[in-house]
């Protein structure tokens, strides 16, 4: 198959499959070949069972030949972040703690993909237990940016973004706790979507911070992520935080929901620390929307400056609780040097967890401890409510918000490793959407002077995914940024 097959959109691949010009086996083999050709450089995959992927593709071809295609994802390869359960496949969370663990069941999102006939194609690298902004915290490897192999792919879903960017899969799934889909999408020049909290089931997603985590798709185009979101969204009784609300026709909404829209520009996103070239690209996108007749309003989110502090209290507190289950007793790494039960806990965790995970567990345990709970955790929850109210007030006058996804483009590997606070600030523009539970999308909106992608973030009302997709698609269709790819 021609090399350009690797950079075709999901829609283009669907058309080739439907026309009989391409089989799922041919597509899957071509992408396996692509993975083998480029992944020594990019390091996006933790594992890939080629035989299993080809077997799924053969089944899809048989369904197509029999006239019983399951839907738009039937026969399409999709990669999964190594934090989403697939029965019989590794579930490592890129941690030594789960290095040899195999999932005994499917996540609900995985079940939806299987029902849709998707070819589950590989486990994708990530920051350990989704804790990081660069995929340098993986216990196994550092995923790099296909646009510049000396730079990071972003995190924590760096493998999911890089695999799509490098042409190894057309679409993938990641998880977003504080920007872990949108920020790597921005760095790698692809589209990344974080749904409203509760729109996609978290059942089978290994928990980092349960009130913040959300599964979402990566793709080459807005329509690609809309197709995947349509497949994985919906109420799930297995997840107590899943919302019982009908899922709109996202593809139809993209076509029917047209401008002009009322768009807000939060002044807090355009202050100190924003790279001038990133700012220029975002301003150019804002000007384009204005030229289309959209009403542009400056809005304010008064508690935005507290978002990072609030996030790192709430997220680490929940991580401290969630990660207590990794004790070396049952299915996790078990120290061989332990002499008693207490020793087993200490040594297993010391050996199994990486430095960043330990840092966050310690911080979370501290803010939940006696005498500090009210001062930190309870107060953070109250401010979280104020942050959500800021967004709701803004949405009284606008349909969506336009902001940078990240204050800067992808940085060089190792550049921020010695300064955890600088690394945490990488997500300063994405964290607030998780705290407020609202949806957000990052789309490519240009390249800087070094040829590195810049991402435009669009944030919307709760369960306003259809509007966000339409707003993003309008910009994408008028520009060619999504069709630009790294040369590798």
| Residue among 115, 325, 126 at smallest CA distance from 210 | 325
∠303-470-457 over CA atoms, to 5°? 35
What percent of the chain stands above pLDDT 70? 99
Q: Phi/psi at 373 (nearest 5 deg)?
A: -55, -50
Mind listing the domains of the chain with CATH numbers?
A: 3-263+396-483 (3.90.1300.10)
Contacts of 181 (CB under 8 A, 6+ apart): 157, 160, 161, 174, 175, 192, 193, 194, 216, 218, 442
Tell me the mean pLDDT in the region 190-196: 98
Q: What is the pLDDT of residue 213?
A: 98
Query: What distance in Å separates the CA atoms of residue 462 and residue 198, rounded to the nearest whole number?
Result: 10
Q: Is the pLDDT of residue 3 over 80?
A: no
Give yes or no for a cis peptide into 346 (omega within 30° of 0).
no
Tell me the mean pLDDT in the region 299-323: 97
Distance between first and last Cα of the chain: 18
Q: What is the pLDDT of residue 259?
A: 81
∠350-356-358 over CA atoms, to 5°? 35
Task: For residue 2, name the pLDDT band (cuts at 50, 70, 90).
Answer: very low
Sign of the alpha-carbon torsion through 76, 33, 103, 132: negative
Query: What distance in Å separates the CA atoms of residue 243 and residue 70, rounded to the nearest whole number?
Result: 25
Query: What distance in Å separates the CA atoms of residue 197 and residue 436, rounded to the nearest whole number?
Result: 9
E strands, 388-481, where?
A: 400-404, 440-447, 453-460
pLDDT in tens, 253-266: 998 888 899 999 99
Query: What distance in Å separates the CA atoms of residue 342 and residue 373, rounded to the nearest whole number?
Result: 26
Tell me the mean pLDDT in the region 244-249: 95
Contacts of 71 (CB under 8 A, 6+ apart): 116, 117, 231
Task: For residue 246, name the pLDDT band (cuts at 50, 70, 90).
Answer: very high
pLDDT in tens, 426-455: 899 999 999 999 999 999 999 999 999 999
Q: Is the pLDDT of residue 106 over 60?
A: yes
Q: Is the pLDDT of residue 344 over 80?
A: yes
pLDDT in tens, 129-180: 999 999 999 999 999 999 999 999 999 999 999 999 999 999 999 999 999 9
Task: For residue 330, name the pLDDT band (cuts at 50, 70, 90).
Answer: confident
Residue 143, both tokens: 């995923």
| Residue among 433, 456, 182 at smallest CA distance from 301 | 433
Task: For residue 248, name the pLDDT band (cuts at 50, 70, 90).
Answer: very high
Query: What distance in Å separates the CA atoms of residue 454 and residue 275, rounded to the nearest whole number?
Result: 11
Instruction: Please check whether residue 244 is in contact with residue 236, taking contact to mean a CB–CB distance below 8 angstroms.
Output: no
pTM for this entry: 0.97
CA distances from 464 to 53, 171, 236, 439 (A): 34, 22, 19, 7
Which residues form the catalytic set? Answer: 81, 156, 180
What percent of the chain stands above pLDDT 90? 94
Q: What is the pLDDT of residue 148?
A: 98
| Residue among 405, 162, 178, 183 at smallest CA distance from 281 | 405
Work out the number of other CB atoms within 10 angstroms of the CB of residue 422: 13
The dihedral formed by the CA atoms of 204, 207, 212 and 218, expressed in degrees to the nearest 10? -50
CA distances from 352 to 93, 95, 140, 257 (A): 12, 7, 12, 49
Contacts of 125 (CB under 8 A, 6+ apart): 43, 44, 45, 46, 82, 94, 135, 138, 140, 141, 143, 158, 159
pLDDT in tens, 39-92: 999 999 999 999 999 999 999 999 999 999 999 999 999 999 999 999 999 999
Q: What is the pLDDT of residue 1?
A: 42
Contacts of 209 (CB under 8 A, 6+ apart): 177, 314, 315, 316, 318, 319, 322
Pairing assessment for the beta strands 440-447 and 400-404 based on DSSP bridges: unpaired
Tokens 């579930």 sit on residue: 91
Lowest mean pLDDT, pick from 203-207, 227-231, 351-355, 415-419: 415-419
Q: Which helix (H) or strand (E) holds 73?
A: none
Q: Count of H helices and E strands in the chain?
A: 16, 13
Query: What distance in Å separates the CA atoms of residue 30 and residue 383, rounded to the nearest whole number?
Result: 50
Query: What distance in Å separates the CA atoms of residue 365 and residue 362, rounded to the nearest whole number?
Result: 5
The mean pLDDT of the chain is: 96
């Amino acid at each position: 198959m021609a090399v350009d097959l690797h950079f075709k959109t999901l829609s283009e691949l669907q058309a080739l499959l439907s026309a009989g010009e391409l089989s799922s086996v041919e597509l899957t083999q071509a992408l396996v070949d692509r993975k083998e050709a480029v992944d020594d450089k990019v390091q996006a995959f933790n594992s890939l069972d080629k035989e299993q992927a080809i077997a799924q593709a053969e089944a899809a071809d048989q369904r197509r030949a029999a006239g019983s295609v399951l839907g738009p994802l039937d026969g399409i390869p999709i990669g999964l972040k190594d934090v989403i359960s697939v029965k019989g496949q590794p579930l490592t969370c890129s941690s030594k703690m789960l290095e040899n663990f195999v999932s005994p069941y499917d996540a609900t999102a995985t079940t939806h993909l299987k029902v849709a006939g998707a070819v589950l194609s590989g486990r994708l690298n990530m920051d350990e237990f989704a804790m990081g902004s660069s995929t340098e915290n993986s216990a196994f490897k550092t995923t790099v940016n296909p646009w510049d192999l000396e730079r990071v792919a972003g995190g924590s879903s760096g493998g999911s973004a890089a695999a799509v960017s490098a042409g190894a899969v057309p679409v993938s799934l990641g998880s977003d706790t504080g920007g872990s889909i949108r920020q790597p999408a921005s760095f790698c020049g692809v589209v990344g979507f974080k749904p409203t909290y509760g729109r996609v089931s978290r059942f089978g997603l290994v928990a980092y911070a349960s009130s913040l985590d959300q599964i979402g798709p990566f793709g080459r185009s807005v329509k690609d992520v809309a197709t995947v979101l349509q497949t994985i969204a919906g109420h799930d009784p297995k997840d107590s935080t899943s919302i019982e609300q009908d899922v709109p026709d996202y593809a139809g909404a993209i076509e029917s929901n047209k401008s002009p829209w009322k768009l807000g520009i939060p002044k807090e996103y355009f202050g100190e620390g924003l790279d001038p070239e990133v700012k220029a690209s975002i301003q150019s996108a804002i000007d384009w929307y204005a030229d289309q007749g959209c009403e542009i309003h400056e809005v304010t989110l008064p508690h935005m400056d507290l978002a990072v502090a609030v996030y790192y209290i709430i997220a680490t507190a929940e991580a401290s609780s969630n990660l207590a289950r990794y004790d070396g007793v049952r299915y996790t790494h078990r120290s061989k040097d332990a002499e008693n039960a207490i020793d087993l806990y200490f040594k297993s965790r010391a050996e199994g967890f990486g430095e960043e995970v330990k840092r966050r567990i310690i911080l979370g345990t501290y803010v939940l401890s006696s005498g500090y709970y009210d001062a930190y955790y309870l107060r953070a929850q109250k401010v979280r409510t104020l942050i959500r109210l800021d967004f709701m007030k803004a949405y009284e006058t606008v349909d969506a918000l336009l902001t940078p996804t990240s204050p800067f483009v992808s940085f060089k590997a190792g550049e921020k490793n010695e300064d955890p606070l600088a690394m945490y600030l990488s997500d300063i523009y994405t964290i607030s959407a998780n705290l407020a539970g609202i949806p957000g999308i990052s789309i490519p909106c240009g390249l800087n002077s070094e040829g590195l992608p810049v991402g435009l973030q669009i944030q919307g009302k709760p369960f306003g995914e259809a509007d966000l997709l339409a707003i993003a698609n309008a910009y994408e269709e008028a520009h060619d940024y999504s069709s630009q790819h790294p040369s590798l």
